[in-house]
A and B are shown apart, each in its own frame.
Chain A
Amino acid sequence: MTAVVAALARRSIRQTFRRPQFIAPILLMPTLFLAVNTGGADSATTLPGFPDVAGFLDFELAGAMMQAAMLAGVSGGIALAIDIEIGFTDRLLAAPIARPAIVLGRLGATAAMGLLLTAWFLALGFVFGAQVQAGAAGVLLIAVLVPLAALAFGSVGTALALWAGRASVVQGIFPLVFVVVFLSSAFFPRELLSEPAASVADYNPMSFIAEAVRDPIIGGITATETMKGLLGIAIVAAIGSVLSSFALRHRLRSA
């Protein structure tokens, strides 16, 4: 099963790099947003109650990584839906391989994209003067949390693709990505959000994950924030796994 998962993951990664419409939403859009947010809301650091940060870029890096991780999850779902549309998934279902491998291969690729985008945004941050206050250990923690988050978001995208089987339907949830990000502390401190976003952000797993990723960048590694981040990832992954399992059964019945 491991060999099948690895082969499918490799195929998915190659597919992502061959089609600009897959890679662009993951890296290009969050990078442009990062530029606009840091350039446009640079003066926000002077607001009373804003965390003590070296610069607004330091604060925003986690938000950009979260946005990109979520988009990576949705893009993985779109790619799977295209596989369903062109009949590739049906051929896999007929092959003598474990069925979860079909989903795990795709998720493995999404996690790998999570690692790539972590490297991209950290490199970008370093070039433009951001610092990871927790040092190498902080970088390592981010490199674990972001791919795990991408994997968790990917499980939700996978569930939707398996259920709908149409790329246009999965693509339709792109705006929802922004809703989830805006209603969290990914872009702005929770205490400074307007209502009702502030109240929603208190319960949004995205807030927990973003704050866990931000923690080593603007301060140091704290166990509480890290555990909250892992809890947030676990919640999303649990929802995604359950939905994927139901959706796969639904697809097998209809195949």
Chain B
Amino acid sequence: MTQSIAVTGALMRRALNEVVRVPGAAVPGVIAPTIFLLGLTAAFGKLTEVRGFGGPDDYISFLAPVTLLQCAGFTGAATGVNLARDIEQGWFDRLLVAPTPRVVLLGGVVLSAALRVLMPVAFLLTMGFVFGLNFPGFDGMLLIVVLVPAYAIVAACWGASIALRFRTQAAGPLIQSVMFMFILFTASYAPLDLLAPWLEAVARVNPVNQVIEALRAGFVADVTWEETWPGLVTVTGMTLFFGALALRGIQRTGR
């Protein structure tokens, strides 16, 4: 057990080292969600004036939860692409022959996303507050610290399962676009009732919408248990599902 924790910790440290050693690759992932937050606010900010929009007058507070999940999505996808690179270069094969349970290897890879995501989140919130984002309160901040890293693990599990299946960085667009659709095919730009009918139908069945609504509560009003628990259940369910998918992928690798 102690050894497993040590291996997981070492793999997580290695993933964090990449941020410092290859900043050119990490910086876009850190600043991109902030660009989306500020850019989309500038472009679509007047949507709050549409009849029936409700919610806050400042669009940035409405949009913030979406971009927080983008932080998680980008980080998780990057974890998957980095794993594909390690597989291409043969480094992961060497890990597989080490006397370490494969679940521990997978844990080290995907858990690193939960730590790495804190960097774009901190940058996004700092810039957001500078540009008028509502402070979500202590309970809202707590929800961010729980839900966003958890969603980064979901995205990393998805990325890892695809990387293990295709074993090439060329699968990167597939990893990214599925995460993109999960996060943005929700009530991301406007409340459900104002979406185009097709998107409203998709958003109502998209589980990630529950996570966005849970995170949004703190920015636009108050955090309530009725809006929080569906988000927590969704993230737990998605972690179990995508975790099982990634675990199946790593158990089958090379066999």
User: Smallest distance from the beta carbon of A59 to chain B beta carbons, Å?
Assistant: 12
CB neighbours (8 Å) of B202 from chain A are 39
Whether the Cβ atoms of B194 and A182 lie closer than 8 Å is: no
Can you identify 30 A-B contacts, CB atoms within 8 angstroms?
Answer: A20-B170, A21-B169, A21-B172, A24-B173, A28-B177, A36-B188, A39-B195, A39-B198, A40-B44, A40-B184, A40-B190, A40-B196, A41-B44, A41-B189, A43-B190, A46-B51, A47-B46, A47-B47, A47-B50, A168-B22, A169-B24, A172-B25, A175-B32, A175-B35, A181-B39, A183-B39, A183-B42, A188-B44, A194-B43, A194-B46
Q: Give chain B's interface secondary structure class.
A: helix
Task: Establish whether residues A20 and B43, one from each chain, have CB atoms under 8 Å apart when the complex forms.
Answer: no
Pick the contact of B196 from A38, A172, A175, A178 — CB < 8 Å? A38
A24 to B43, CA, bound (A): 24
Number of A interface residues in the complex (CB < 8 A): 40
Is B7 at the interface (CB under 8 A from chain A)? no
- Whether A40 contacts B195 by the Cβ 8 Å rule is yes
Q: Mark A26-70, 1 if CB is under 8 A from B, else 0.
A: 001100100111111111101100000000100000000000000
B21 CB, min distance to chain A CBs, angstroms: 12
What is the size, in residues, of chain B's interface with A at 8 Å between Cβ atoms? 43
User: Is there an interface contact between A44 and B44, defined as CB atoms closer than 8 Å?
Assistant: yes
Whether B177 pairs with A24 at a CB distance below 8 angstroms is yes
Q: Given A21-B169, A21-B170, A168-B22, do A41 and B47 touch, yes or no (CB 8 Å)?
A: yes
Question: Contact between A172 and B195 (Cβ–Cβ < 8 Å)?
Answer: no
Seen from chain A, the residues whose Cβ lies within 8 Å of a Cβ on chain B are 19-21, 24-25, 28-29, 32, 35-44, 46-47, 56, 166, 168-169, 171-172, 174-175, 178-179, 181-183, 187-188, 192-194, 196-197
Interface pair A32/B196, CB less than 8 Å apart: no
Interface readout for B135-179 with A: 1 if CB under 8 Å, 0 if not? 000000000000000000000000000000000011111100100
Residues of B within 8 A of A (CB): 22, 24-25, 27-28, 31-32, 35-36, 38-47, 49-52, 169-174, 177, 180-181, 184-185, 188-190, 194-196, 198-199, 202
Question: Do the beta carbons of A197 and B195 come within 8 Å of each other?
Answer: no
Report how far A36 CA is from B182 CA in the complex, Å. 11
Q: Is the CB of B24 within 8 A of A172?
A: yes
* A175 proximity list for chain B (CB < 8 A): 28, 31-32, 35
* B190 A41 Cβ-Cβ under 8 A: yes
Kindly list chain B residues whose C-beta atoms are within 8 Å of the C-beta of A25: 173
> How far is B28's CA from A38's CA once the two chains are assembled, in angstroms?
26
B199 touches A20 (CB 8 A): no
For the complex, what is the distance from the CA of A80 to the CA of B172, rounded to whole Å?
A: 20
Nearest B residue to A49 via CB reads B46
Looking at A29, A36, A171, A188, the one whose CB has the most chain B CB atoms below 10 A away is: A36
4 new A-B contacts at CB < 8 Å, known A20-B171, A41-B189: A40-B196, A40-B199, A42-B194, A197-B39
A21-B170, A43-B50 known; A32+B180 contact, CB < 8 A: yes
Q: Are A28 and B28 in contact (CB under 8 A)?
A: no
